[in-house]
Each structure stands twice: as C-alpha cells, then as structure tokens.
C-alpha cells in the first residue's frame, strides 16, 4: 500500500495529529507517509522487544525497514520526555495502544494494585500535557477499539476503556484527528 502524503505549508505552526484505526487499517503507513516530507523525524516506538516472540520481532523489523535511514528511532514509554526535548525534528509516535498496555502493566492495573488508577491518571495527564504544549510537529498512532463488541474479560474491558479515554484526551488537544478504515484515511477534526 502506498503511503498518503498530506502537505503542510512551510510557514505553518506545528500540527498535532492523532490517527486511529483497527488492526491493519493503514494507520501506521499513513502516519509515516505524512512525515515523509521531513528529512529527520524522531520515531517513538512504544513496544517492548521480546526475543521469545518471533512474530512480534518480525513486526518490529518490518516497521523499522519501512522508515528512512535519516529517522531516529527512540524505544521508550517516556513520550512526554521526548516531546519536551529541545529539538526541532518532528515526532511520530507508534502506538498509544501499546503504550497504554505497558503503562497498565507498570501501575499494577491488571492485578488491582492499590492506587493504580491515580498512577495511571498521572501518566496520562503528563502525556496529554506534553502533547498540548509541544512545539514539535507531531503525529500519534493509536488503535480504535471502541467500535467492536464488548470484550468478554475484565482485562479486555479495562484495556478498551482506558485506551478509549486516552484517545479522547489526546484527540481533544490535537489539531487533527484521522480515522483509517481499510487503508482509507478520513479526517474527523
């Protein structure tokens, strides 16, 4: 699938964009195509490597090979820290669904650790504040999981609900929100 290029005037202020979609909807390719006009991009990869999961490692390899060699990949959960850096390069974050999963792990949400909700709110608030105040061009990729059936398990419902809240909070501070369905992007905001 070819990437979609959305031009932005050279003198325009930085734009924050959120692109949502389901699995294999084209959201990552669209985001990469949108950033292709920049010679240098900071690509924030939120996933953790797992040498025991060959399929996941293959997904990571394919994503890396698609990116231009001039882009810098930063593997981190500290998206806010990247956005606050004094750096002019645009930022592409892929993806918030993986980010929220790993944060839910860290705060003890799956096991019901005391205070996990407050810890999670703090992490989400920090991220949303950084998205709102960054001076860098920003595209964030996330999964849209609220359009399907209600998950059968409590963990599935927790993930769906928290990702939905995160997507809504990020969308509220972004200039643009896009939805990719079957490789076709549509702007909603």
Q: For residue range 92-122, list pLDDT tens digits in order.
A: 999 999 999 999 999 999 999 999 999 999 9
Asked about 132 being catalytic, the answer comes back as no
pTM of the model: 0.88
Q: Residue 23 has what pLDDT?
A: 86
Domain count, the chain: 1
Residue 164's domain comprises 16-187
Q: Let me know if residue 79 belongs to a domain.
A: yes
Residue 10 lies in a domain: no
Asked whether residue 33 is assigned to any structural domain, the reply reads yes
Residues 44-70: pLDDT tens digits? 999 888 889 889 888 888 888 888 889
State the catalytic residue, choosing from 5, 63, 132, 133.
63
pLDDT of residue 7: 43
Q: State yes or no: pLDDT of 1 exceeds 50.
A: no
Other Cβ atoms less than 10 A from the Cβ of 24: the count is 12
Whether 70 is covered by a domain: the verdict is yes
CATH code of the domain containing 95: 3.40.50.300
């Amino acid at each position: 699938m070819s990437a979609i290029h959305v031009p932005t005037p050279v003198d325009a202020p930085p734009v924050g964009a959120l692109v949502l979609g389901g699995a294999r909807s084209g959201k990552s390719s669209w985001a990469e195509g949108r950033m292709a006009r920049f010679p240098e991009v900071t690509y924030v990869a939120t996933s953790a490597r797992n040498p025991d999961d060959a399929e996941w490692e293959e997904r990571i390899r394919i994503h890396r090979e698609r990116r231009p060699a001039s882009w810098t990949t930063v593997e981190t959960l500290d998206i806010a820290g990247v956005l606050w850096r004094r750096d002019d390069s645009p930022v592409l974050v892929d993806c918030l669904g993986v980010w929220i999963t790993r944060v839910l792990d860290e705060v003890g949400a799956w096991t019901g650790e005391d205070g996990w909700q407050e810890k999670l709110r703090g992490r989400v608030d920090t991220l949303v504040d950084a998205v709102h105040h960054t001076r860098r061009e920003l595209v964030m990729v996330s999964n849209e999981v609220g359009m399907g059936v209600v998950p059968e398990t409590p963990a599935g419902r927790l993930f769906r609900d928290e990702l939905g809240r995160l997507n809504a909070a990020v969308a509220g501070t972004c200039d643009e929100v896009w939805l990719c369905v079957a490789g076709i992007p549509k702007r909603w905001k």
